Structure 1
Amino acid sequence: MLAEFVGTGMLVTVVVGSGIAAQRLSPNDVGLQLLENSLATALGLAVLILMLGPVSGAHLNPAVSLADWVLGRRRAGGLPTTDLGGYLAAQLSGGVAGTLLAGVMFDVAPAFSTHQRATPGQLIGEVVATAGLVLLIFTLARTSTPSVTAAAVGAYIGAAYWFTSSTSFANPAVTVARIFTDTFAGIAPASAVPFILAQLVGATVGLGLLLVLQPTATRAAGRAVIPTEPETTPQEHS
């Protein structure tokens, strides 16, 4: 739970903090601001996955945890029901803490965002972004090493900043957290609920595609985003 709290918090700190820095460094160029924000997010996410994956799997995203839980219901494995609530609570509270930390570092007071985003096109963008993310993660969970997965997930999110109209939140915890900053990365509370619903639809679409394209995909349950390292006893070390 601590790994999910810290990881989601640091992910949001990267997103919000780099957004504030981009606004200050490139005040007259929105395109450059988005480039700076997307690069920082892609790199930061990859590092967090490598650092925290062995502890919790580095879900850092309620959509991923829910997808892992659903896959586990089809086959023994996946995130246990007893852990699901804890993961979601850690991710949501960690994300809000990350927004507050970014504000403290940049001397920006917390405030509800006024950035309205929930147009039909942007909601479709969130469906696409989240579906692609879920499909990618659970495909790589069966076929790739942790380092490849971390790089690929970071690269996908970095690219999705640009090819989706929503700039690819693709994460309910990050969406909730970004309500509390009226800066470049913010999202108005009225837009957050439609975004989260679109993300859940996208996660469902991604899982459906996964089960069609990878008929044995349930074997990936419990290995997302990367497998956790089992605890060992002194006898196992000897």
Structure 2
Amino acid sequence: MRSYLSEFVGTALLLAIVAGSGLMGESLAAGNAAVALLGNSIATGAGLYALIVLLGPISGAHFNPVVSLMFWKLGHLDFKKMLAYWGCQFTGAIAGIWLTHLMFSLPIIQESTKVRTGLGIWISEFVSTLVLLSVIHIGDQKVKDRVPMLVALTVTAGYWFTSSTFFANPAVAVARSLTNTFVGIAPNDVFGFVLAEILAALVMVGLFCRSKR
């Protein structure tokens, strides 16, 4: 139960950091989107580092269904636990968005109107997920103690070098459709993100399994 609670709380706090820093950045940036994104990316990277360091020893600090999928396929997680992790991650992500709305005195139930779609965006999410999973897998094999920093820096950089701003996480995509703030994504656009993320995960799983054989 500690590992499930860790995944729920960790994913909830991750989304609270993403959405909260987006709101704060936008409110203080005086209309400068670059400044808002800078604050959003730095806060996300810093928060993610702390969460992985603290919760990694408890649950592995996946906070992401495709990360759990990869570790299941590699034999580090059994199927039932993977499904339980997915439930914790999706519900935790939504809880994190609602917590942010409460903290900023916003309506709890929202729906984003921010359009994020198109071939370039979908390719961006595919590449983002490939990069994230590669960093986690290679880091876990070669420099395990540096994985928290590697992931945090990769996500921070990803905000800036990808057109989709590096979601790379189906739970994050779904949860961000429920906030009409700086980090939102229109519900109609979620499917394209999730499909790109899952395809990238399947590619990585195939490569890793083949390399093991």
Shorter-chain TM-score category?
Answer: over 0.9
Structure 1 residue ranges without an equivalent (≥5):
73-77, 219-238
User: Shift of residue 203 of structure 1?
Assistant: 1.6
- In the alignment, structure 1 residue 142 sits paired with structure 2 residue 145: no
Structure 2 contact 68–85 (Cα < 8 Å) conserved:
yes
Residues 199, 100 of structure 1: CA spacing in aligned structure 2 closer, same or farther, 3 A cutoff?
Answer: same
- The structure whose Rg is larger is 1
- In the alignment, structure 1 residue 161 sits paired with structure 2 residue 159: yes
Structure 1 contact 131–204 (Cα < 8 Å) conserved:
no
User: Shift of residue 61 of structure 1?
Assistant: 0.2
User: Shift of residue 144 of structure 1?
Assistant: 1.2
User: Shift of residue 208 of structure 1?
Assistant: 4.1
The alignment's TM-score, normalised by the length of structure 1, stands at 0.85
Residues 160, 210 of structure 1: CA spacing in aligned structure 2 closer, same or farther, 3 A cutoff?
Answer: farther
1:124-145 Cα deviation digits (max 9, x unpaired): 0000000011111011111113
1:132-175 Cα deviation digits (max 9, x unpaired): 111110111111133x1100000001001111100000001111
User: Shift of residue 71 of structure 1?
Assistant: 1.6
Rounded Cα–Cα distance in structure 1 between residues aligned with 2:154 and 2:116: 21
Relative CO higher for 1 or 2, CA cutoff 8 Å, sep ≥ 6? 1
- In the alignment, structure 1 residue 170 sits paired with structure 2 residue 164: no
Rounded Cα–Cα distance in structure 2 between residues aligned with 1:203 and 1:12: 21
Q: Which residue of 1 aligns with 2:191?
A: 193
Identity of aligned residues (%): 42
Stretch deviating more after TM superposition (3-12 or 202-211): 202-211
SS in 1 for 2:165: coil
User: Shift of residue 118 of structure 1?
Assistant: 1.5
Rounded Cα–Cα distance in structure 2 between residues aligned with 1:56 and 1:23: 33
Rounded Cα–Cα distance in structure 2 between residues aligned with 1:163 and 1:203: 20
Q: Which residue of 1 aligns with 2:117?
A: 118
SS in 2 for 1:181: coil
Structure 1 contact 122–166 (Cα < 8 Å) conserved:
yes
Count of residues paired in the alignment: 209
Rounded Cα–Cα distance in structure 2 between residues aligned with 1:85 and 1:134: 19
Structure 2 residue ranges without an equivalent (≥5):
none
